Structure formats: structure tokens, C-alpha cells
């Protein structure tokens, strides 16, 4: 099945936005065994959209459009489709009912924009949208199915599963994803060896995104090759498919009936935020202390003020004490602490930007064990903080596995 | 100047790669005052590429192609251009010399692939590539400049600066962005009124991304219109251009020599994480308490346990006490608290998923003032938490402005 996709929106062409739909569609269509023939990005101009649809129809069995279905006057995709079909727009009675029901709960009145969103070209039908006010539209023209979906990724992706997948007539291919954190891209590639060859079956593609090194295995035998990659990437491979580090760590904790607390300086709450991003995190996460200022490190955790003078807040001693006191005062099985220099300011020759100490206290045994490890992360402020969170979570995961491997960016201290 | 771009490569359409050139071109072209009319992604098929060039020529003053200039047999962009120009390929003597000089140093012989790379359509000329073996190609056809660049970003971007920028004939355009939070897209659009018309000059485009409603004003007089939009969107418009809510709130606090602390339940650290995402946040952020469990709400903040039985942890009373005790115990000018049901579990008929109380304590006056407001956010767990963070920051911003406007998703309580 030949599928052509079209993203619509001025913001995708004037430097404000980035079109991510094209690549997302490619992955989904490959998964469903369809051929992604072409992707286009055009502006919110009704004639441009019309011309693109007319040009693309002969090349496709299914034409997928996204964007330009919002409530404002520059949302013109439905008008362009009406031009192609050579029909007018009409109000959809069921859509009006649904919209009124939806908005009545919020106490907001029906505006002119909302009224635009319940119009569709005569002879087409609406596709429900559970995450927004803009329904999609399905038309059939010259033997081609034409589907209009709203642009916001969350709405679009959910509607793709519900409304587009049933239209896809492809051959499913086996697919497995392995995700890892803490080894470099080069190291990950070398460990794969022959598996990374482009002419192999199943095909192994790997990529790095937000410091997560991921392998996608596609084709017959993907599951077996996935298991081999997990072994080659041990102990850094933490999960399959859409697993995240916080989820995997949370599951491990819950399985052991253990819990965790945090004390955060340079991450300022992001580690707690990551752990509580997991549904049901109250099972394993108790809480924590954001001791961003040195005064609060002393007041909330009892860190002796003299330490800030002698070894500094970014030090093994402070990371150790933070983790230990957090576990003791909050009464949890494990505690993680972070203290570092996220930048852009604050670096010194001894402790350049990116220097972070992560502490871990483990009270699961007969005696509490507390360790601290030093990292020198590359990247800007956001990356340093993100890598700190991921390294702390991987440290806890490895601790539960009794593995002492060194992580990427870790330095002798 | 109208510019059309085309990315070529099977890997961009089969789920392996992600086309980043489209967005990169958009930013560069806007910077140089050119109009990015359209971007396309097509596969390494000679007829497909030829057809795309033929279709795109009439719409452009400059046609930029990237990819398909490598040494392998599936690199067919130069062949497609020759078909469009209706000429053959010829070897470029200077390119042969340069390639021989380049490879002689490495000891590698001239391969068949290299020989393909020194061929160009008759009547065109080569563009030098300092970072790889594939030269670019420049052609003129039917009044349009056609530029072929290699696909690897490092080679492509460097060649863009050297060879494409001199061809750009654009007029820099004035540009302003206004960002707001707490009013709906429909409300924002209605407040704009006539300003949102597509035929206006300067042009106002608006979009919603992660609940931030943003207007981009482009063209002569953009600054003035930006000021008008700020007034129309008051008090929800919080900044220009790339301003974020945490930055704006941080600047306001720093200007007043005030500081803030947080106590977080449903957001679990994201509010502190957002505030400390700002460079130099130690000027206004002290720290906070992650009281995710009720036990820690009592232990760290002294919330009476009886309240959890009578009114529940997600209540006005608990939000008020959390904020008040945080300001008192951590000694800050302001304190923000969050307690809610982020979902997907935990909802009840009385307090459905998305119900969140946000507390705010203000000790800047002669008497501490503490308020709590109830929200019913739509969206999934991540969105409820993100909207909680943004609403808390906007509440604090409005408090400092002595404005009591109701925010989107706020409910009577």
C-alpha cells in the first residue's frame, strides 16, 4: 500500500516549528508494512494545499494530511479538501452535539472558532478526536482514501491508531527495540559488530536520542536478535520498546517492596519529577528534599556548614551525607542525591561546568551502604541536568542488580 | 525570494532516519528574509526525483536539493537533474584533479564510486565541498537556480553558507513573538479579532504548543502589533520571543529581591525542576519539599493527619497549609504548593483525574497572605503535571502584579 503524507502549517516553514510528523509517519508505516512514498510540508494557503492534494492523489492509495484543522481563520485544510472534491462545507449535527456536551462541562460558550471546527466538506465524515476539539475528516476520491488529522502530535498520534491503522493494508513486520543508557554510541556500535551491517536480515538500526542509545530490529527473527543485543549491551540495556529508566527502576523497587527518596541540588526536582512521572509511583517513591541553597542543605539535612568551605557543596562528602541523611530522615530503602555544576556559570578549573556528584544510600542490607560517584557531563545546562537524572536512575538500577560497572561520563575522583 | 527545498533518501522515508534538513532550511531562509515555500522528502528513485524537480521549478526562484550525491549506485540526484535539463553527464576535469590530489594523500585508489562523483550534467558547474568527497552542483534552468548539496548535515550546512547564501536575495523582515499562558486558543484568537486575518500586514500567526499560546508577528510594524497583542492578551501574555514562564517569574523575583520555595505532591519535583532550569536560579530559588506521601506531608510540613481523613490530601486546606508551612519553615518571600490527582488512576466522582489544588503563600507584605485555587486540567498524566507547573508559575507572576484573573482550567471550588 502506497501512502503519501502532507504536513500543513506556516510555522513548519518559517523557522518557528519543526515538522516531526514526517519521520513519525515513516516509522508507523514501516511497522504496518506500508510504503511511505513521499512526505511534504506546505504552508497554510488554501490553493497550495489544494494543489498538493491534487498532485499527490495519483501517487497514493492513502493520502494522510495533518494540520490546519484548528479553530482560527488560518486553518484552511478542510476548505482545501472541499475545493478538491468540488463541494461546499456543511455543519455536522453529531459534531455540534459532541462539542456542546464537551464545552458545557467547562462552562465555556461556543465561539466562532468552534463553529468552524464542526464544518466538513459535503459527503465526507468526521473522525472522533478524544484529545481535542478538532475532529478529523475522512474522504474517498478517485479511489484514494484521504484522511485529515489535526496537527498537535498528541491528538494526531492517538487518532492515527484509531482511524488510520484500520485503513492500512500492509504486511506486519516483526520489530523489537532495545534501549540502553550509560555507554557511548561508538561503544554500542562496536559491541554490535556484524549485526550492524545494512545488508543483514533482520535489519538493525541504531540511534541516540536524549542520551538513550537505542537499537531497532526489524524483520524476521527480530526478537532473537533483540535478545542478543541486550546481552551485548549488558548491563546498560535497561528495557524494550517504550520502557523508560524511571519505569524500569520503579518496577524493580516495587518488586522488592522497596522505596526511594531523593535530595536534589543541581537537578532541583527533576529526579523526583522523573520518578513521579511513572503511573502508580506512590508505590515506590516517598518524596524528597530540594536543597538548592547551602543554607537548606544544612537546615533540612544537617550538612555541616564547614564542609562548604573546605571541600565545597559539589563534593564526595556532601553527596554522601545528603544521600545518607535523606534515607535516614525520610525512612526509605534507598536514597539518591545530586550536587553539581549545571552551568553555564559556576565552573572552576578544578570543578568545570558539568561536574556532578551523585550519592546513593542503600539500607536494604544489615548495614547501610553509601557510595558517591563523580561525573563530568558534556552538554548545556539542560543536558547536564538530564544526564544527571538518568545516571542517578541507572546507578540505582545497577545497585539493585549488584553491578558496579562504570557509566559514560564517569570520572576517577 | 521564493525557495523550495527537497530532501532525497530512502532512509528518510523508511523509518531509519529523520529528515532534519527541512526545519534547518526554514530557520536559515527566514533569517535571510526568503520565503520557504515548500519542503519535500522523496526516495532515491531517479524518476521520482526528476518529477519532483519538474513540479517544483515553477514555484521557486531557488530550488535546493540535498542528498543522493554519494558514490553508490542508489545516489541518483545528479542523473535526475540531467534528465530535467535534457543533457548527458560529463566528467569535470578540475574535480578529477582535486579528487586525485585528495585521495593520493590517503593512499586509497580512485574507485568506481569516486568516478561517479566527478560527473555532472553538461552545462552545470561543481560547488566545492571541504568536508567530503561529493561536490555540490549548480544549474540554471527556466530562470530558476537549482543547487544540489550532499545529505550529511556537516557537509551540507558548511556548503550552504559558502555557496547558497550568496544566491539569496531576501529582505530581512521585522519579527516579534508574544507568548501567553492561561487563556484558551479560542479565547486568544477572539481577542486578536481582525489582527488574525491572513491578508493583514504584518502577518500574525498563532499556535499552541505545550499549552503556551504564542503569536508570531512578521513584517513591517511587527513591534507595534506585538505590543497591541500583549495588551489584548493581558494579563496572560508573559513574554517575548523565547522567554519561558520560569525565566520571567525568576526575573520578577530577582528584581524584587524576593525568593521562592516549593512543596510538591502531584508534580513530584517538576516545579522546582522548572525554576532551576533558569541559569542563575540560585538568585531566587531556595529549595523545597517533595511531600509525595501523606506521611511526609505530616513529617516535613506538619500537616495534621486528620485532614487526610476529613477533606483529603487533594483539598484547599492541605494546599493552603503546605504553602504556608513551606514559606515559614524555609523562610522565603513566596511559597508554592501542589496537590492533585495526575492520573491515570486515583480519580473519584468528586475529584476526577485532573483535579489539582495549587497553594500560594506571600509573605512580602506586613501580614502573610495565603490562597489556594482549584483546577480541573484535561490531558494525560504528563499534561496534567505540566499544566500544574505552568499554572503555579503564572499564579505567582500574577500575584506579583496584584492581578486576580482566573486561569484556564480553573474551577469554582
Cα A214 to the chain's mean position, in Å?
Answer: 13
Of A9, A27, A72, the CB nearest to B189: A72
CB < 8 Å to A292, chain B? 272, 276, 281-282, 285-288
Q: What is the mean pLDDT of residues A161-181?
A: 88
Q: What is the pLDDT of residue B107?
A: 66
Domain A2-167 annotated CATH 3.40.640.10: no
Is B198 within 8 Å of A74 when comparing Cβ atoms? yes
Is there a contact between A292 and B286 if contact means CB atoms under 8 Å apart? yes
In this complex, the residue of B184, B206, B287 whose CB is nearest that of residue A296 is: B287
Closest chain A residue by Cα to residue B23: A18
Q: What is the ipTM of this complex?
A: 0.81
pLDDT in tens, A134-155: 899 999 999 999 999 999 998 9
d(C-alpha A403, C-alpha A405), whole Å: 6
Are residues B189 and A113, on separate chains, in Cβ contact within 8 Å?
Answer: yes
B285/A268 Cβ within 8 A: yes
Q: Is B30 left (phi over 0), alpha (psi -120 to 50) or beta?
A: alpha
pLDDT in tens, A215-235: 888 888 999 999 999 999 999
Q: Could you tell me where in chain A the CATH 3.30.70.2860 domains are found?
A: 175-240
Which tens digits make up the pLDDT trace of A79-103?
999 999 999 999 999 888 887 887 7
Interface contact flag, B207 A11, Cβ < 8 Å: yes
The pLDDT, as a whole number, for residue B111 is: 76
The pLDDT score that the predictor gives to residue B106 is 64
Query: Looking up cell 483546577, which residue turns up?
Result: B375
Record: contact A74-B209, CB cut-off 8 A: no
Which residues of A are less than 8 Å from B292 in CB distance? 272, 276, 281-282, 285-288
- Residues of A with Cβ-Cβ distance to B207 under 8 angstroms: 9, 11, 16-17
Per-residue pLDDT, B97: 87
pLDDT of residue A300 exceeding 80, the answer is yes
- Once rounded to an integer, what is the mean pLDDT over residues A279-295? 97
Q: What percent of chain A has pLDDT over 70?
A: 98
**pLDDT given for residue B361 in this prediction:** 98
The whole-number pLDDT of residue A216 equals 84
| Distance separating alpha carbons of residues A389 and B122, to the nearest angstrom | 57
Do the chains contact at B272 and A276, CB–CB below 8 Å? no
Contact assignment for B186 to A271 by CB distance below 8 Å: no
- pLDDT of A96 reads 86
Cα separations in angstroms, A81 against A147, A168, B273: 10, 21, 44
Distance from CA of A329 to the nearest CA of B (A): 10
Architecture of domain A175-240: 2-Layer Sandwich (3.30)
- Cell of residue B128, nine digits: 566545492
Residues 6+ apart with CB under 8 A from A234: none
What is the crossing angle of helices A294-301 and A316-330, to 10°? Answer: 40
User: Does domain B245-411 correspond to CATH entry 3.60.110.10?
Assistant: no
Q: What is the pLDDT of residue B108?
A: 67
Integer Cα distance of A146 and A221 in angstroms: 34
Question: Per residue, what are the HEC states of chain B?
Answer: CEEEEEEECHHHCCCCCCCCHHHHHHHHHHHCCCEEEEEEEECCCHHHHHHHHHHHHHHCCEEEEECCCCCCCCCCHHHHHHHHHCCCEEECHHHHHHHHHHHHHHCCCCCHHHHHHCEEECCCEEECCCCCCCCEEEEEECCEEEEEECCCHHHHHHHHHHHHHHHCCCCCCCEEEEEECCCCHHHHHHHHHHHHCCCCCCEEEEEEECCEEEEEEECCCHHHHHHHHHHHCCCCEEEECCCCHHHHHHHHHHHCCCCEEEEECCCCCHHHHHHCCCCCHHHCEEEEEEECCHHHHHHHHCCCHHHHHHCCCCCHHHHHHHHHHHHHHHCCCEEEEEEECCCCCCCCCCCCCCEEEEEEEECCCCCCEEEEEEEECCCCHHHHHHHHHHHHHHHHHHHHCCCCCCCCCEECC
Q: How far is A410 from B8, CA to CA, in rounded Å?
A: 39
Q: How confident is the model at residue A107 (pLDDT cuts 50, 70, 90)?
A: low
Where are the CATH 3.90.950.20 domain residues in chain A?
245-411
Is the per-residue pLDDT at A193 higher than 90?
A: no
CA–CA separation, A279 and A300 (whole Å): 28
What is the per-residue pLDDT for B114? 80
Nearest Cα neighbor of B252 from B407, B393, B400 is: B400
CA distance B184 to chain A (A): 10
**Residue B19 to residue A22, Cβ atoms within 8 A:** yes
For residue A273, the chain B residues in CB contact (below 8 A) are 267-270, 272-273, 385
> At A183, is the secondary structure helix, strand, or coil?
coil
Q: Please list the rounded mean pLDDT of every run of 10 residues in chain B (413 residues).
A: 94 82 88 89 94 94 93 87 96 86 70 84 93 90 95 90 90 85 91 85 83 89 95 96 93 98 98 97 98 97 97 98 98 98 95 97 96 96 97 98 96 83
The answer, yes or no, to whether residue A17 has pLDDT greater than 90, is: no
The secondary structure of residue A406, as a DSSP letter, is P
Cα–Cα dist A71/A77, whole Å: 11
At residue B352, the pLDDT reads 96
What SS3 class is residue A341?
coil
Amino acid at each position: 500500500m502506497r501512502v503519501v503524507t502532507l504536513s500543513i502549517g506556516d510555522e513548519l516553514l518559517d523557522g518557528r516549528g519543526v515538522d516531526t510528523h514526517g519521520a513519525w509517519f515513516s516509522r508507523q508505516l514501516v511497522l504496518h508494512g506500508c510504503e511511505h512514498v513521499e512526505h511534504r510540508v506546505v504552508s497554510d494557503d488554501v490553493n497550495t494545499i489544494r494543489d498538493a492534494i491534487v498532485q499527490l492523489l495519483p501517487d497514493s492509495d492513502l493520502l494522510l494530511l495533518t494540520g490546519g484543522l484548528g479553530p482560527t481563520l488560518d486553518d484552511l485544510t478542510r476548505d482545501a479538501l472541499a475545493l478538491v472534491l468540488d463541494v461546499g462545507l456543511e455543519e455536522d449535527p453529531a459534531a455540534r452535539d459532541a462539542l456542546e456536551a464537551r464545552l458545557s462541562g467547562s462552562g465555556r460558550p461556543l465561539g466562532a472558532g468552534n463553529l468552524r471546527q464542526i464544518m466538513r466538506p459535503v459527503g465526507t465524515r468526521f473522525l472522533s478526536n478524544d484529545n481535542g476539539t478538532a475532529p478529523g475528516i475522512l474522504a474517498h476520491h478517485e479511489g484514494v482514501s484521504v484522511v485529515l488529522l489535526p496537527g498537535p502530535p498528541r491528538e494526531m498520534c492517538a487518532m492515527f491508531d484509531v482511524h488510520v491503522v484500520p485503513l492500512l493494508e500492509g504486511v506486519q513486520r516483526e520489530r523489537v527495540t532495545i534501549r540502553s543508557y550509560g555507554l557511548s554510541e561508538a561503544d554500542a556500535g562496536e559491541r554490535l559488530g556484524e549485526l550492524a551491517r545494512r545488508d543483514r536480515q533482520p535489519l538493525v538500526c541504531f540511534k541516540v536520542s536524549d542520551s538513550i542509545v537505542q537499537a531497532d530490529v526489524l524483520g524476521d527473527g527480530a526478537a532473537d536478535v533483540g535478545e542478543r543485543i541486550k546481552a551485548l549491551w549488558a548491563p546498560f540495556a535497561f528495557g524494550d520498546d517504550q520502557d523508560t529508566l524511571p519505569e524500569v527502576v520503579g518496577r524493580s523497587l516495587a518488586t522488592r517492596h522497596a522505596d526511594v527518596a531523593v535530595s536534589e541540588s543541581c537537578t532541583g526536582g527533576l529526579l523526583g519529577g522523573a520518578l513521579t512521572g511513572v503511573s502508580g509511583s506512590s508505590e515506590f517513591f516517598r518524596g524528597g528534599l530540594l536543597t538548592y541553597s547551602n543554607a537548606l542543605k544544612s537546615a533540612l539535612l544537617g550538612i555541616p556548614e564547614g564542609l562548604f568551605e573546605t571541600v565545597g557543596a559539589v563534593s564526595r562528602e556532601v553527596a554522601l551525607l545528603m544521600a545518607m541523611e535523606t534515607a535516614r530522615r525520610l525512612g526509605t530503602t534507598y536514597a539518591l542525591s545530586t550536587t553539581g555544576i549545571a552551568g553555564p556559570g559556576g565552573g572552576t578549573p578544578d570543578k568545570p561546568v558539568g561536574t556532578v556528584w551523585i550519592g546513593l544510600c542503600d539500607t536494604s542490607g544489615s548495614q547501610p551502604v553509601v557510595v558517591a560517584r563523580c561525573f563530568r557531563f558534556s552538554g548545556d545546562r539542560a543536558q547536564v541536568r538530564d544526564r544527571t537524572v538518568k545516571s542517578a536512575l541507572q546507578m540505582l538500577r545497577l545497585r539493585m542488580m549488584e553491578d558496579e560497572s562504570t557509566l559514560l561520563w564517569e570520572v576517577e575522583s
